[in-house]
Structure 1
Amino acid sequence: MTQRPDDPNHDPENDGTPDRSDPAPDDKGAEIVDLDAARSGRNADRSPSEPKPTTDDADGPVLEGEVLRVDRPGPARMDWRASLERKATSRQPLIPLWLRSRAEAIETVRWASLHYAHVAGYQVLRAPLYAGRLTVRAPRGFVRLVNGMVRWTFDFEGEPVRVAAVQKSDYDGYLKLSRQRDSRVRLRVWITGTILVTLLVLAIVVTNQPTAAQWGVLAVAMAALGILGKPADRPLINRAVMASEVEKLSSDIVVRALSVLGIAGITQALSKNPKDAIRFVAPITRDGPGWRADIDLPYGVTVADVLDRRKQLSGALRRPLGCIWPEGDSSIHEGRLILWVGDKDLSTTVVRSPLKQARSHDVFKGIPFGNDPRGRLVTVPLIQHNVLIGSQPGQGKTSSIRELAAGIVLDPTVEAWFHELKGTGDLDPYDKVCHRYVSGIEDEAIAYAADSLTLLRKVVMRRSAALKALPADLCPDKRVTRVIADKRSLGLHPLVCIIDECQNLFAHAEYGDKAGDDAEFIIKLGRALGVVLILATQRPDRDSLPTGISANVSIRFCLRVAGQLENDMILGTSAYKNGIRATVFVPEKDAGTGYLVGATPMPKVVKAAYLNTPETQLIADRAFALRKAVGTLTGYALGETAEQATPNFDLLADILAVVPLSEAKVWNEVIVDRLAELRPEIYGAWAALEGGAKTAQLTTALKPYGARTMQVWGTPEGGGKGANRIGIAREDITNALTERDKGKAS
């Protein structure tokens, strides 16, 4: 027996522990092994240069030469707090999602109220029909009642058994059955007799009652007999609401649909493990007018793979394409699929604008823009944002702009600058409330829009200084708020500039480059100052939409586009790769439907509200009356002459005026100084620039005309050392002027 070391009788020399110095025991005893030598021998094949593990965080120190196991046996140990935090991410909400949204809760209650009101009204109106059916069926019910009572009283249901006993010559069995029948009949005759006497007494009592009571009893009796006489195949009450033909979404249907999409990762996973290859992380539930399934796709399969096969998924689920809306939840992982299958095709739904009947609106609360596929209202925040809308022609871009413009003009504190550069007059109803307005595709309209951006850039600079000067208690966050906007004297009210078909401006040879620079400046700095830019284009490419603009816009709405390049120009880099693809929409059928990014926590498919011209005119009339009442009509709405950003001038002609024929080539900085002397009100700011900025200013101004700059050898006008600097050749300016005049003449 081994003694414990802490035993008072413990003998260290006889504690049962073998001594390494003892001689080796005989074959009958246990062999004493030198652990160090054994471990050294076990790892003798380890390379001398191979690092030896010395510690093990999981199981304490590891001796030199011991093999370090990467995967430890048993369950992985995790700090209880980390485990709790991981589980907390999947907690279900205490309050149902539809109750957390006031608008959705109201819509749900409204739908339920209308549904049951319809059912009640339908049945009440058909009450006479049901009474007639009961009356007609009452005789059949009476016959069934009498027949049933007779058969029960005399035990006719047992007659087949007794006949069978006679046919089998089972005398003992027949006698037992006969005695049992006699006993039953005696009891049942008394019960039936008691019931008949009771009914007779009740009939006598009823005959002595008022006529109304008699008719009431007769109605109850007829109703009971009518129900008893009902045919099995003809129900008494009609259905007020026919059952939907839409098949309930189940896990088997979803797995079957995903398995036929031809995605290699899903096919292989299902062949190896059919039960767990596709996991449902939550029960399939009703979500609005449709079904929602939360799915973890097999390892290596992403939501983008499923989005590529949306049409095939529609065929597999036997539902119209406009009912199938798969989307991802990248906040969890790229393989989390949210599959929503609607009852109705979204393309057949017409979204009515909530602003059609609104008397006014507050842009600081966002603008109601449209509905998602589940019928929920989607609001676009406007203040502190800029908006970019893009699509192919005829896909609903104009309706989207009209809806945003409706919310803008219904807020009397907002200053509206609208530019419609298609020339069709889509925004003409709003011209009566705009500070600046133009509709046209001519150079004059393009120049007007370019002037607006130049003026807007000055507004941004002025507002920046004004906002900085406000006291901290009024403006702690240094951004325009509702309180600041209402103080009209501060000049910090919201200012929204819409440019529809902006590609006609940014791609213009004369005004495009500067307009692009101004727009980028406004987008970057104006959002905190209450200045909002809304751009819409049907040609989203690098020439028509400068990258500095598309990269900095915070809210994007992309309707149907042709390919990946256009998709990412509107929705942002890698949007197509991440499964946000406006190429999935069907031309014309899905008009008004697009991907909205930046307005909600996750990208969302939205169908914009539709406003026709008469509805838009009514909204504009209300906005005009509202603004007139509060005195916020300005500029174009009052018939005032449009303010120009700069006086009219001809740069090429001015350069030829200050560069004589004797000078073939001149430095840019020299030309700028001469131009400032010629027209100080125009070029004075250019001459005030220093260093390379003065040279670059003229280079930028000449780009729209195709006049190139080059290295020119020269000397300063006041004398000095010669040098090579950026300049122009007078011949190039003459050629550019000639080409421009030819273009105007044609």
Structure 2
Amino acid sequence: MTSTTEQYGPDRPEDRYRVDGGAADVVDLSAARVRLAPDTQPDTAPDIRPDTVPDIADPVLEGEVLPPLPTPADEGWLPIIPVWMQSKTGIRNMVRLTLRRWWYRIRFTAVRLPWATVKWTGRAVRGSWRISGRLLAWALDTRADAMEQELATGARQDAKEFIRVREDRARRIRARLVVLGLATLVGAGGGAYLWFFTPRLVQVLVAMVLVTILARVGANPDTPLIGPAMATSSGYLQLSDAILMRALNAAGLGGTVAKVDRNGETTEEGNRPTLAQPLQRENAGYLAMVDLPFGKTVADATKGQAALASGLDVDEVQVFVENVRGSARRVSIYVADEDPFMLPPRRSPLARLPRVSVWNPNPLGADVRGREVCPSLIFNSFLIGAIPRSGKTYAGRALVAPGFLDPHCDVTVLDFKGGKDWQAAEQLAVTFRLGDDDEDLGYAIGALQNLKGEAQNRFKAFRAMSDEQNPEGKLTPELAKAGYRPHLIVLDEVQNLLRAPEKEIRDEALALLVWLAKTAPAAGFTLVMATQRPATDVIPSDLRDNTSVRLALRTKTWQSSDAILGSGINAIGFGTQRFLEEHKGAAILGGVSNGRGGDLQVIRTDLLKNSDFTQICQIGAQRRADAGTLRGHAVGQAEEIVVTVTILSDVVAVWPGVEPKVQAKTLVERLQEAYPSKHAHLDQTSLTKALKDHGVPVVQVYRDGSNRNGYALAAVRKALAKAEGPDITNS
């Protein structure tokens, strides 16, 4: 296959497989041509001299910045076209909902049709009896019986009047019997004609009409032929203003009514919730825009989500509350027609293998209202947590897939479970390792140390550049084209590394991960950690709080949810403990703006099947081979990993000058100051035990008028040389 050089950066039109609406940019044509020029530099080694970086200063545009004109949405106008009609998805969901309801009613009725036929026949027989009785009563003029009885035995005894009434009744009976007889003959003749001279279809249709008429006559209005197809629950009813206000009252958001005195004058104004716009259909549910009572905020509505669901008579996972920009008391309440997480998941658009770039936001999933959620890999670090079999691995694959498809992004994969989940990534990874044995954990520490060193070297190079070459001191698309490629670091089952048997491994791992999550993103290193043990003793707050984006899937308790999302997040209504076992891919995403003034949102991650992920890795490897960026483990040139994780190296690093002996107290203080994340809880006893394990004896050191336990520099260096190599003594 012919090797080709691709353009790189967010400005490549072929890298955009989605079309997002937005305002146009004013660009300088000459600068644009420079950015869009083909990359002819060999994208191999990252150690490029600062003077080789091209001049990438942006032009200064002069002019008056005009404020944007207000849009109808800003002024509170309602959309001319309903929301559900503004997208193919909305129309499709509305049609699907209507067809689904009618299809359910058809199936419901079809199953009960045999018994309904029996009941229908019985009603027809009863209708025949009722019609016959009414015709007979009409023919015999039974209504005259009461009058004759009154004239014969009552207070109005009148023989002449009695005789006249009897004769009139007799004439009516004779006439009616003639009419009834003629009608019977006509009916019999018509029936014979239908039976002998009409097609079978006509006979069936006439019989059905007659039976229907007879059954309607014989029906009891209080007893329907077939019971209602829908349960008596608001889950199947149309949402109304009254139902919504009932739910707000149930959640303690009903406010207060106005108080009126005896004279009808208002003594206290009412403070009730109001609808900011009429209820409307959106996607597969109802959307309500509510102005809460004064003094109530979205936090109150979010905390009362369970009570809202009870007031609406639906499941809690069908109710979603969000803030609305412009007013602290205005909220949107979305009520799904059914549990949105029980529906089939959306297949990831990345399964179509588009040309993507890590510099652009890429789809991870969608929220319950169908709005796509697109985090950006660049300049972020990620933490994914869930209990086993909740979709954690699938969510991680969907997140990192853009980095795998982008040929200008290096990839490191360290899977501490050792399964097959990430095995397909071996063909494109710069560094790759599976397993959680001591050797695997040591290799991982060495790999992370190398990545930290590479990031530090980049920062040194950035500092040497001019402001025109690197105005913000971080990676840019132009620098990435010059060789400083983004680097995606994937760590699955990271709890096995953070809970390693050796304390030194644990401390070093935590310090490295905190640094890579907090500092390395500016150099283009994106750390993605996943764990099935979401707990504070596994994911310390220092690591979690320095991770910019957090994705929490199902957990057992709110404490585990907060261990991923952050302390106190459950208290404001965002907790993953409410997800059910069947809610695969349901998650709460924090750290990605939702465009509505917040960064917490409930989403459903896209699905990348095993076959899709394998194909993504194959295409990613092929694209790297074509672009000349495939290196490291993927081509059998894995870099040498030297593990330097020991308390000895830290002690040597903080040793005061070349003093032959130092007290333990001094070393503990210097270690805590230099490595706060690793040695925050270190004391003299722990230090003595750690050094004793490496053969460093305790000696008496006299300083400042006191004789205390300490250590000799020669003994520490000798132990370090034995642990890490003979050349350390010459350092």
TM-score by shorter chain over 0.5: yes
Work out whether 1:431 is the aligned partner of 2:386: no
Letter in 1 for 2:317: G
For 1:497, the equivalent position in structure 2 comes to 489
Cα distance between partner residues in 2 of 1:336 and 1:181: 78
Picking from 616, 621, 624, the partner of 1:623 is 616
State which of 273, 297, 300 in structure 1 corresponds to 2:295: 300
- Conservation of the 8 A alpha-carbon contact between 1:439 and 1:445: no
Question: Which piece of structure 1 moves more, 180-189 or 145-154?
Answer: 180-189
Asked if the contact 2:141/2:173 (under 8 Å) is kept, the reply is yes
Paired residues, number: 581
Structure 2 CA distance, aligned partners of 1:413 and 1:230?
77
Asked if 1 retains the 8 angstrom alpha-carbon contact of 2:273 and 2:290, the reply is yes
For the residues of structure 1 that align with 2:551 and 2:285, how far apart are their CA atoms? 24
Matched, 1:641 2:637: yes
Is the aligned partner of 1:523 residue 2:521? yes
Query: How much has 1:304 moved relative to structure 2?
Result: 1.6
TM-superposed CA distance for 1:247, in Å, is: 7.5
1:630 deviation in Å? Answer: 5.7
Deviation at 1:267, TM superposition (A): 6.5
What displacement does 1:499 show?
Answer: 3.4
| Counterpart secondary structure, 1:601 | coil
**Distance in 1 between residues matched to 2:255 and 2:722, nearest whole Å:** 63
Q: 1:438–1:448: 8 Å Cα contact kept in structure 2? A: no
Aligned to 1:349: 342
Q: What aligned pairs does 1:159-308 form with structure 2 within 5 A after superposition?
A: 199=187, 202-203=190-191, 205-206=193-194, 209-212=197-200, 215-216=203-204, 219-220=207-208, 222-225=210-213, 227-228=215-216, 230-232=218-220, 235-236=224-225, 246=235, 248=237, 251=241, 254-256=244-246, 258-259=248-249, 266=255, 276-284=271-279, 291-308=286-303
Q: How far 1:446 sits from its partner (Å)?
A: 2.5
Task: Name 2:353's counterpart in structure 1.
Answer: 360
Mapped contact 1:561–1:582 kept (Cα < 8 A): no
Query: 1:608, CA displacement in angstroms?
Result: 3.9
CA RMSD of aligned residues (A): 6.3
Using the TM superposition, give the Cα deviation of residue 202 of structure 1 relative to its aligned residue in structure 2, in angstroms: 3.5
Report deviation, 1:333: 1.8
Map of 1:593 onto structure 2 = 587
What's the counterpart of residue 442 of structure 2?
Answer: 443
CA distance in 2, matches of 1:187, 1:88: 80
Contact 1:420/1:427 (<8 A) preserved: no
Q: Which runs of 5+ in 2 are unaligned?
A: 1-69, 261-266, 470-474, 499-503, 663-669, 684-709, 725-731
Native 8 Å contact 1:418 1:498 kept in 2: yes
Shift in Å, 1:445: 1.2
Distance 1:299 1:314, change over 3 A: same
Letter in 2 for 1:206: L
**TM-score scaled by length of structure 2:** 0.58
State whether residues 453 and 515 of structure 1, in contact with CA within 8 Å, keep that contact through their aligned partners in structure 2.
no
Letter aligned with residue 92 of structure 1: L
Which one-letter code corresponds to 1:105 in the other structure?
Answer: I
1:354-433 counterparts in 2 under 5 A?
354-355=347-348, 358=351, 360-361=353-354, 363=356, 368-370=363-365, 372-373=367-368, 376=370, 378-382=372-376, 384=378, 386-389=380-383, 391=385, 396=390, 398-399=392-393, 401-405=395-399, 407-408=401-402, 411=405, 413=407, 415=409, 417-420=411-414, 422-423=416-417, 425=419, 427-433=421-427
Q: 1:91 maps to which residue?
A: 77
Deviation of residue 385 (structure 1)?
A: 6.0
Distance 1:566 1:189, change over 3 A: closer
The residue type equivalent to 2:294 in the other structure is: Y
Tell me: CA distance 1:741–1:464, structure 2 relative to 1, closer, same or farther (3 Å).
closer
Report the alpha carbon displacement of residue 355 of structure 1 after superposing the two structures with TM.
Answer: 3.9
1-structure distance, mates of 2:259, 2:550: 38
In the aligned structure 1, how far is the partner of 2:293 from the partner of 2:494?
A: 44
Q: Which residue does the alignment assign to 2:323? A: 328
Q: Structure 1 regions of 5+ residues with no counterpart? A: 1-83, 471-477, 667-695, 709-729
Q: Deviation at 1:334?
A: 1.9
Contact 1:281–1:296 (CA under 8 A) maintained in structure 2: yes
1:716-731 pair list within 5 angstroms:
none
- What does residue 89 of structure 2 align with? 103
What does residue 132 of structure 2 align with? Answer: 146
Q: Secondary structure at the match of 1:594?
A: strand
Partner of 2:12: none
Pair 1:135–1:160, CA change in 2 (3 A):
same
1:212 partner amino acid: R
TM-score, length basis structure 1 = 0.57
Q: CA deviation at 1:145?
A: 2.9
Identity %: 18
- Residue 299 of structure 1 and its aligned partner are, at CA, apart by 1.7
Q: Letter of the aligned partner of 1:202 in structure 2?
A: G
Deviations 1:42-98 (Å, cap 9, x if unpaired)? xxxxxxxxxxxxxxxxxxxxxxxxxxxxxxxxxxxxxxxxxx989962222223223
Residues 522-573 of structure 1: per-residue CA shift (max 9 Å, x gap): 42353xxxx75434464679995668x95683x543456988999598469x
Change (3 A) 1:496 1:455: same
Give, in whole Å, the separation in 2 of the partners of 1:222 and 1:418.
78
Is the CA contact 1:162–1:177 (under 8 Å) kept in the aligned structure 2?
yes
The question of 1:606 aligning with 2:602 is answered yes
Q: Report the AA paired with residue 452 of structure 1.
A: L
Which residue matches 1:557? 551
Check conservation: 1:261, 1:309, Cα contact below 8 A.
yes
1:340 deviates by 3.9
Change (3 A) 1:203 1:350: closer
Pairwise CA distance, 1:664 = 4.6
In structure 2, the CA distance between the partners of 1:567 and 1:144, relative to structure 1 (3 Å rule), is same
What CA distance in whole angstroms lies between the structure 2 residues aligned with 1:593 and 1:178? 88
Larger-Rg structure: 1
Q: CA deviation at 1:632?
A: 4.5
Distance of aligned partners of 1:307 and 1:189 in 2 relative to their CA distance in 1, 3 Å threshold: same
Provide the rounded CA distance (Å) in 1 between the counterparts of 2:641 and 2:168: 113
**Residue 294 of structure 2: SS of its match in structure 1?**
coil
Shift of 1:354: 1.2
- In structure 2, C-alpha distance between the alignment counterparts of 1:392 and 1:405, rounded to whole Å: 15
Does the aligned pair in 1 maintain the 2:407–2:623 contact within 8 Å?
A: no
CA distance in 2: counterparts of 1:216 and 1:444, whole angstroms: 83
TM-superposition CA deviations, 1:104-135 (whole Å, max 9, x none): 43344344445545555666787777666655
Hey, what does 1:51 align to over in structure 2?
none
Instruction: Tell me how far apart the structure 1 counterparts of residues 463 and 93 of structure 2 sit (CA, whole Å).
Output: 43
User: Counterpart of 1:606 in structure 2: which amino acid?
Assistant: V
